[in-house]
Amino acid sequence: MNYQALYEQSIANPESFWEEQARKIDWFSFPESILSKDQNGLYRWYRGGKLNTSYLALDYHVLNGRGDQLALCYDSPVTNTKKNYSYKELLEAVSLFAGVLKAKGIQKGDSVIIYLPMIPEAIIAMLACARLGAVHSVVFGGFAPNELAIRIDDAKPKILLTASGGMEINRVIDYKKIVDEGLEMASHQVDTVILFQRDFIQAPMQEGRDLDWKELLKSAEPASYVPVDSTDPLYILYTSGTTGKPKGVVRDNGGHAVSMKFSMDNIYDAHEGEVFWAASDIGWVVGHSYIVYAPLIQGCTSILYEGKPIKTPDAGAFWRVIEEYKVNVMFTAPTAFRAIKKEDPEGKLKSQYDTSALKYQFLAGERCDVNTLEWLQDLLGIPVIDHWWQTESGWPMLSNMPGIELLPVKPGSSARAVCGYDIQILDLNGQRLEANQEGVLAIKLPLAPGCLPNLWNDTDRFIDSYLNPYPGYYFTGDGGYIDEDGYFFITGRIDDIINVAGHRLSTASMEEVVASHPSVAECAVVGIEDALKGQIPVGFVVLKTGVNTLDHELIQKELIQMVRKAIGPVASFKKVLIAERLPKTRSGKILRKIMRAIADRKDFTPPSTIEDMSVLGELEKIIFS
Ligand code: COA
Ligand code: AMP
């Protein structure tokens, strides 16, 4: 069957389509209904089904004779360590750690925060939670204690899992200190912190609360999988929204497992026994879906890479990993290749490695510029596939689907709608736009299985953020257009979310921090274009009357430090410009979009409601002086 036929079938008959896909995973009991609505009127997939995601990712393969196949290859150039796990070994490790959690009282439905670097224990912990039916919430290591505290207070975990440290190229990150500070800031307290001590940094333990990971394993009894309902939550993953408070995206077990399997078969064309590498971090959705769950559910070998595209040790690092593990399908953010291209523009390092196993290179997480895509296409000589999705969807919504049919690649486009997604371009009044007209991407309900059914304990926010803007549709927050061949082009977020080096961040949360400085009268943080990171945040501040100009430099430094301390280094907030005033409408609304356009040297039409046009010239001077 070709792409178009399968796509049409998925939209015309979603229930029979997704019933057929559901039959491809090993349920303990098959769902009673394929699509239904819950008590809040929200769509739910596969009600009444029983399964266990950890069983699907591990036991299933061992029971089917693939216990000796490699499941996970850990490669850490930053610590000079490599370790491989067969499916049998990974199952043993996960069962044992599940036993540790069970002995500490973790049961189905309990939540567990995981704040760990890119080490096998992070994956073992996720799968151990899934095994017990507990709900994990992984927090990315680049976030500051305050961000960790916000997530602790929202997820209300019983246990927090962490390590003594992480390694950023050659700089040690003290994870335990961040955890201790985060717990001090949080109102909710955990009963237990389980700490994995790494060789290069020993963390202090708090008596009565902290327990040593390796010690606990010594006396642990392996725990078996607990059947859960299809609609039970597998995990919560917090992501930036348009306010300072992150959104707790919930993923259920059944829809997720089916979508992971479907995407490996039909999008990534990655099959049992093949090697899949997502060079991301387990703290992001890409890591959840394509380092952990999808490759393992599919019976692939997954690579866990604790390193960077450059400097660990050089811009040939990715090619080395592809050669060494014979990677068949790879996925990363365009930023990673922009970094490689900057250091090795002619791709000389690539010629030192045999990358012939690689079938496809997938890119997502941010807009991929045509230059980088074409550079990569020339270098690799294989399809380079830009695809689009979000934490909320958990898997691609726009993509070429080479597992069914490889369509021609159009640089700059994330290709066509993935089966199950009826994606439309709407104007501000919710009317469908013609080809090549730019509008908002909205998805006709129901969303495909695997997409968020709700936000964690916040149905009102879920409905408000995603369903109310366009009744009958899911609002994506992205703008774009479709060309005459049905290819989508994403033009960027239409809200205050930015993408910095493939990391999703909220400018509103940075503004909250900047505004709290005693010398700041008003401020705006906007994401402007950056050749390496795609976007970077820039703060524009108006200082209170009477602040000495001699203090400007100090205030700029303080603001940068404040954002780093409150949100984390991942915010990459490194530039603050001091302005006399900000462009506003007569009603006082700051014109952030125009500020961005000026900084990016893009054309714009100032609204007729602008308070004073001359401020635009002033701003241009500040930005480019
Ligand atoms: N733990 C602690 N700190 C972290 C971290 C982690 N897991 N990840 C990043 N940071 C820190 C970095 O050390 C850096 O700190 P600094 O300001 O003190 O130097 C800061 O957060 C910003 O990191 P980053 O945006 O990654 O910039 P960088 O200059 O360190 O690296 C790239 C640039 C391109 C090499 C890097 O961004 C990269 O590899 N990107 C790939 C994108 C990716 O994996 N995206 C995930 C979605 S697919
Ligand atoms: P995240 O939830 O962190 O995965 O970020 C999702 C956001 O990243 C989307 O809403 C888009 O704005 C952006 N994004 C992801 N993939 C792409 C892509 N291929 N092209 C353009 N933007 C993308």
Task: Write the DSSP string, 542-592.
Answer: EEPTT--GGGHHHHHHHHHHHHHHHT-GGG---EEEEES---BBTT--B-H
| Residue list, ligand 1 pocket, CB within 6 Å | 141-142, 166, 168, 173, 280-281, 284, 286, 308-310, 332-333, 335-336, 339, 365, 500-502, 569-570, 572
Assigned domain for 365 exists: no
- What pLDDT score was predicted for residue 608? 87
State the ligand closest to the CA atom of 414. Answer: 2
429, amino acid identity: N
How far does the centroid of ligand 2 lie from the alpha carbon of residue 485, in Å?
22
Residue nearest to atom 15 of ligand 2 (CA): 365
Residue nearest to atom 37 of ligand 1 (CA): 501
Residue nearest to atom 13 of ligand 1 (CA): 168
State the ligand closest to the CA atom of 308. Answer: 1
| 424 and 529 housed in the same domain | no
**What 3 state SS string does 242-287 have?**
CCCCCEEEEEEHHHHHHHHHHHHHHCCCCCCCCEEEECCCCCCHHH
How many domains is the chain built from? 2
How far does the centroid of ligand 2 lie from the alpha carbon of residue 433, in Å?
22
Domain termination site, one of 447, 480, 513: 480
| 448 and 552 housed in the same domain | no
Residue nearest to atom 9 of ligand 2 (CA): 390
- Number of Cβ within a 10 Å radius of residue 359: 16
**Mutational test site, ligand 1, from 570, 572, 573, 574, max ligand atoms within 8 Å of CB:** 570
**Mutational test site, ligand 2, from 237, 384, 389, max ligand atoms within 8 Å of CB:** 389
Residue nearest to atom 4 of ligand 2 (CA): 390
What's the domain range around 576?
Answer: 501-624
- What pLDDT score was predicted for residue 221? 98
| Residue 304: strand, helix, or coil | strand
- What pLDDT score was predicted for residue 496? 87
- What pLDDT score was predicted for residue 1? 80
Q: Which two tokens stand for residue 157?
A: 């975990």
Q: Which two tokens stand for residue 106?
A: 């973790």
| 75 and 111 housed in the same domain | yes
How far does the centroid of ligand 1 lie from the alpha carbon of residue 342, in Å?
16
Assigned domain for 563 exists: yes
Question: Which atom number of ligand 1 is nearest to the Cα of residue 117?
Answer: 7
How far does the centroid of ligand 2 lie from the alpha carbon of residue 451, in Å?
15
| pLDDT, tens only, 53-62 | 999 999 999 9
Domain termination site, one of 449, 480, 511: 480
Assigned domain for 319 exists: no
State the ligand closest to the CA atom of 394. Answer: 2
| 505 and 476 housed in the same domain | no
Low-confidence ranges of the chain (pLDDT < 70): none
Q: Which two tokens stand for residue 591?
A: 């014109």
How far does the centroid of ligand 1 lie from the alpha carbon of residue 239, in Å?
17
**Mutational test site, ligand 1, from 277, 331, 363, 503, max ligand atoms within 8 Å of CB:** 503
Nearest to residue 175, comparing CAs of 504, 207, 280, 167? Answer: 167
CATH code, 106:
3.40.50.12780
Nearest to residue 123, comparing CAs of 49, 48, 71, 199? Answer: 71
Assigned domain for 219 exists: yes
Q: What share of the chain is helix, strand, coil (3-state, %, to 5)?
A: 35, 25, 40
Assigned domain for 409 exists: yes
How far does the centroid of ligand 2 lie from the alpha carbon of residue 368, in Å?
10
| 451 and 565 housed in the same domain | no
Assigned domain for 342 exists: no
| 205 and 115 housed in the same domain | yes
Assigned domain for 361 exists: no
Nearest to residue 137, comparing CAs of 235, 249, 233? Answer: 235
| 178 and 52 housed in the same domain | yes
| 400 and 267 housed in the same domain | yes
| 469 and 511 housed in the same domain | no
pTM: 0.96
| 471 and 511 housed in the same domain | no
- What pLDDT score was predicted for residue 625? 85
H-run or E-run covering 398: none
Assigned domain for 594 exists: yes
How far does the centroid of ligand 1 lie from the alpha carbon of residue 310, in Å?
11
Nearest to residue 197, comparing CAs of 187, 209, 207, 210? Answer: 210
Strands (E), 281-402: 301-305, 329-332, 360-363, 384-386
Q: How far apart are CA 570 and CA 582, in angstroms?
A: 26
Q: Which two tokens stand for residue 221?
A: 């009894």
Q: Are 353 and 342 in contact (CB under 8 A)?
A: no
**Mutational test site, ligand 1, from 143, 168, 367, max ligand atoms within 8 Å of CB:** 168
CATH code, 537:
3.30.300.30
Domain termination site, one of 413, 446, 480: 480
| 470 and 526 housed in the same domain | no
| Residue list, ligand 2 pocket, CB within 6 Å | 239, 285, 364-368, 386-391, 414, 477-478, 490, 493, 499, 504
| 451 and 524 housed in the same domain | no
- Number of Cβ within a 10 Å radius of residue 621: 10
